[in-house]
Structure 1
Amino acid sequence: MAPSYDKTIATAASLAASLMLVRSLASELLPAEVRGALSAAIAGLRSRMTWQHTIVIEETEGWSSNRVYNAVKAYLATRINANINMQRLRVSSTEEDVKKMVVSMEAGEEMADVYEGAEFKWCLVTREVSGDPNNGSGGGREIRSYEVSFNKRHKEKALKEYLPFIVATAKAIKDQERSLSIYMNERYDEWSPIDLQHPSTFDTLAMDQKQKQSIIDDLDRFIQRKEYYRRIGKAWKRGYLLYGPPGTGKSSLIAAIANHLRFDIYDLELTGVNSNSDLRRLLVGMTNRSILVVEDIDCTIELEQREEDEEEDSKSSSTEKKAQDKVTLSGLLNFVDGLWSTSGEERILIFTTNYKERLDPALLRPGRMDMHIHMGYCTTEAFQILANNYHSIDYHVTYPEIEALIEEVSVTPAEVAEVLMRSDDTDVALHDLVELLKLKKKDATEIKTGSKQAEENKDANEIKTGSKQAEEKKEANEIKTESMEVDGGDEIKTGSVQVEEKKDDKEAVVKNELTENGSG
């Protein structure tokens, strides 16, 4: 019968104690070389006999902080809850957010964590180290370290899976908790940051759920495909074109994307950039995990493709040369998908416009803006989100009337939000919204009626003008005919006079001839 587990442990402990005694005696009786070899053999035997391994992670590594230690501290703070049996806890907060408490282990406390079926026991250990008098540090200092113990069969899992998982989780926690910034190019080639505290999220965004989910899925897929982009040889970036009327939520969507990804925003004002070289300096100065935004790309600057022939270049004046130094479409596109697009990674590019049809076709080519997102007028689903945001309601008796009116008129989410914010009384706010929608419907009807009347008046005028022209043409033809008749009568009369005169002349000649003959 196989020995019991407890008996095996007791035997191993007894043997280990015997080995320690032998080691102690050997240190007094044996030479140093023999003692070293014997110590190594005993240590190897002990490691093979024990079932537990321990990894020590100290707070500092030389003069630098240990990233793994900081990652473990952040990770374990998320694992501490009411079910953890610890008598002492450490609590701290930051000046920026006093209400946010960070809970961590106190020295000497232990806690267990389970990862993929394997148990890992953590302990925070502190020890005092005396100062070095040679460098002037007479006092001692405290060194902290985390020790994690586990069954030796999980050693490979601990080193290759568990610890990397902790580091990755801590990085995600840090990214989620860090404050975001929005950068502006105040000078022609420098960024100036301020804190970004925009509250917009995809939950509060007034947009149809299907379109919203499509954007979220695309963003999440992009973040997870670093190796994919590297394998296919493309820069790790994604481009979005937001287009639609003013007030449809383009800026709110940008803020929601930043909050979702925890990316900083770089708001590029192209009119403040003097040349392509300045543009390159700005773009290279962006950090990874950031969003480049160019709002109203169709009207912020006149972007032209300034690729001229050599003959035109040779004839260009100083004025033309100055114009060529300005920001060009080719300079911007070179960053979008040219060689300069690889100057950073994990970046989002967002262009916005109110008039997509005004954009240069070069901006719309496949591969430059990966998604074209239409930001349209308020829909019934968007209205319901806004009503829930501002008044925390899911339904109201005015909903059917409001939704019917929204289907008939063009109203932006910004206009709806403005009305909903005017009163804390839900009934009053929704009544005001009904009145706004009715007014818009009336205006639209009047405009439509006016357009129809104008069209009818135009047709009537065209008919009237045509009739008048026909009448004038008829009168002109009649006058012409009368003139022709008059001219014909005069010709006949003139011919008769000429015949009569010719007849009289002939009679006179005959009479003269007879007179002459009689005289003779």
Structure 2
Amino acid sequence: MASFYNQVPSVSSVFFLYTSFSAITMLLRTILNEVVPKGIREYITVKLVDYFSSYFQSDFTFVIEQHWGEYVENQTFLAAQVYLPTRLAGLTTGKLLVGSNNLKNPTAQPKLGIPVDTKIMDEFEGIHLEWNLHNVKSKGRRDKQYFHLTCKKEFREKILADYFAYVTESAEKVMRHRENLQIFTYNKEDSDWESTLAIEPDLKTTLMNDLDAFSKGKDFFKSVGRAWKRVYLLYGPPGTGKSSMVAAIANQMKYNIYDLQIQSVKEDGELREILTSTTNRSILLIEEIDCGSDILLSGLLNFVDGLWSSCGEEKIIIFTTNHKEMLDPALLRPGRIDVHILMVYCTPLVFNKLVSLYPKIDGHILCDAIEKLFLEVSITPAEITQQLMASKDADIALKGVIEYLETKKIKRKKIQNWRLMEISKMLGSKKQKHNWLSSAFSYL
């Protein structure tokens, strides 16, 4: 024991060493301040801090921000948003985010979300991982969100090479099997091919085959150097089912819908920000494209032609219009719109589908009379649907359809008679007949 105390330095010795070290440190600081330029001193300080913090710190943190660049959504962030709710069993605190956007069934089981500033533990090939979602308040804009993913330093390269790919693949599987769709800007009612959309069977088959080929076309688009996108134009009179067709496509593909009102966009910069913020596996819907300004149309076409490959993949663009003849020829140029779909007036096949959906009957004695009226009167599926929904009684509903068609037929006859009278006035005397003949036919 005595020998141990003999080895302990005296207080005076410790004090002497401390003062000597302090003096040397002050001398070195003075020399550095006098000789070494300030910029180099700051650089050396930063490097020393990084070195010692790296030496003593065993963890490494990946920062995954919501946006990559000024406008584009960070696809890794979006994948984490989808993946992490499947790992909520790894929550380390006693709180859980729950909610529902199911307007059709408010009592449905709520969905689970990712709480802010709450640790979610995960494990990948024996590696323990820690996720944390952070939120930063921002004035005038949406709050900024970002994830922290923390692991041991020695697994950094493994996480970069394999884990992020695993998260993305897992998110894609979840997206392909989700039940509820999100429709941005407006709350449109979800639908599906069999329950709410009445279209010609041939058109349905053709469109479904095209969508199926598109969903499986990743390797093809990559091999030909084209962005993985598909552009559709739905055109035809109002009420012929263009909006229902969009909802059916979204439900078939399990895609979200971004409903862009092109008339409300003021400038190209705003348009670019909106377009680049849409996610993968989504539909960009632009209704009444004929009402957009030439400047915004130019920006839209430039975006469609040139930037899709750097702003995500597996996207569908759908334009709708009631007047295809009024569209800018630049939009209809080959290579821009892949599929043109004419939405027509109600046909017997579509009518029979609507009858099976609303009165829920298969055939009726009044159906033949209604189908014959279709030869004389043009009527949209929306008009037929409105009449069929007037009563749950099939007899009353179908009689209402006949009365509606007969009324339209009488109005159409009156309009034709009025036009014939106007033509007679235009023709005037026999001398003027030849001069007005071409104008009369075009008027009809």
Shift of 1:171: 5.0
Between Structure 1 and Structure 2, whose CA radius of gyration is higher? Answer: 1
| 1:222 Cα deviation from its structure 2 partner | 0.3
**What value does the CA root-mean-square deviation take over the aligned residues?**
3.3
How many correspondences in the alignment?
287
Question: Does 1:430 pair with 2:398?
Answer: yes
For 1:211 and 1:172, locate their aligned partners in 2 and report how far apart those are by CA, in whole Å.
Answer: 29
Q: Does structure 1 retain, via aligned residues, the 8 Å contact 2:346–2:380?
A: yes
Matched residue SS, 1:410? coil
Give me the whole-angstrom Cα distance separating, in 2, the residues matched to 1:456 and 1:274. 49
Match of 1:401 in 2: 369
Cα distance change on mapping 1:388 and 1:286 into 2, 3 Å: same
Is residue 385 of structure 1 aligned with residue 376 of structure 2?
Answer: no
CA distance in 2, matches of 1:99, 1:285: 30
How far apart, in 2, do the equivalents of 1:380 and 1:462 lie?
A: 45
Question: For 2:298, what is the secondary structure of its paired residue?
Answer: helix
Which structure 2 residues correspond to residues 277-356 of structure 1 after superposition, within 5 A?
A: 277-299=269-291, 301-303=292-294, 327-340=295-308, 342-356=310-324
How far is the alpha carbon of 1:408 from its aligned partner? 2.0
Partner of 1:365: 333
User: Do the aligned residues in 2 keep the contact of 1:334 with 1:341 (CA within 8 Å)?
Assistant: no
Say which SS state the counterpart of residue 344 (structure 2) adopts. Answer: coil
Deviation by residue 1:404-463 (Cα, 9 ceiling, x = unmatched)? 11122100111100000111111000001011111222222222233223323322x243
3-state SS of 1:206 partner: coil
User: What does residue 177 of structure 1 align with?
Assistant: 178
> 1:16-415 residue pairs with structure 2 within 5 A?
96=100, 171-172=172-173, 174-184=175-185, 196=187, 198-203=189-194, 204-299=196-291, 301-303=292-294, 327-340=295-308, 342-415=310-383
**Aligned letter for 2:255?**
F
Q: Which amino acid aligns with 2:263?
A: T
CA distance in 1 between partners of 2:226 and 2:251 (Å)? 25
Quick one: distance in 1 between partners of 2:169 and 2:188?
Answer: 26
Deviation at 1:248, TM superposition (A): 0.7
Q: 1:339 to 1:177 in 2, by over 3 A?
A: closer
CA contact (8 A) 2:232 2:337 kept: yes
Describe the shift of the 1:432–1:215 C-alpha distance in structure 2 as closer, same or farther (beyond 3 A): same
Identity %: 44
Name the CA shift for 1:289/1:408 in 2 (closer, same or farther; >3 Å): same
Partners of 2:181 and 2:190 within 8 A in 1: no
Find the aligned partners of 2:110 and 2:238 in 1 and give their Cα distance: 41
In structure 2, distance between residues paired with 1:380 and 1:401: 11
Equivalent in the alignment of 1:419: 387
Deviations 1:463-509 (A, max 9, x none): 3779xxxxxxxxxxxxxxxxxxxxxxxxxxxxxxxxxxxxxxxxxxx
Q: Aligned to 1:457, what secondary structure does the other structure show?
A: helix
Decide whether aligned partners of structure 1 residues 280 and 271 sit closer, same or farther in structure 2, where only a CA change above 3 A counts: same
Shift of the 178–427 alpha-carbon distance from structure 1 to 2, 3 Å rule, reads closer
- TM-score by structure 2 length? 0.58
Which segments of 5 or more consecutive residues in structure 1 lack a partner in the other structure?
Answer: 1-61, 74-93, 103-163, 185-193, 304-326, 467-520
Measure, in 1, the Cα distance between the counterparts of 2:318 and 2:110.
Answer: 36
Contact 2:183 2:256 in 1 (8 A): yes
> How far 1:329 sits from its partner (Å)?
2.5
Instruction: Using the TM superposition, give the Cα deviation of residue 359 of structure 1 relative to its aligned residue in structure 2, in angstroms.
Output: 0.5
- Following superposition, the deviation at residue 100 of structure 1 comes to 7.2
- Paired letter, 1:379: T
In 1, distance between residues paired with 2:389 and 2:171? 39
Matched, 1:463 2:426: no
Aligned 8 A contact 2:227 2:308 in 1: no
- Report the Cα offset of residue 302 of structure 1: 2.2
Separation in 1, partners of 2:307, 2:398? 53
Secondary structure of 2:290 counterpart: coil
Letter in 2 for 1:183: F
| DSSP-derived class of the 1:350 partner | strand
- SS of the aligned residue for 1:267 comes to strand
- Taking the TM superposition and a 5 Å limit, the aligned residue runs for 1:442-457 are 442-457=410-425
- Structure 1 residues 418 and 441, CA gap change in structure 2 (3 angstroms): same
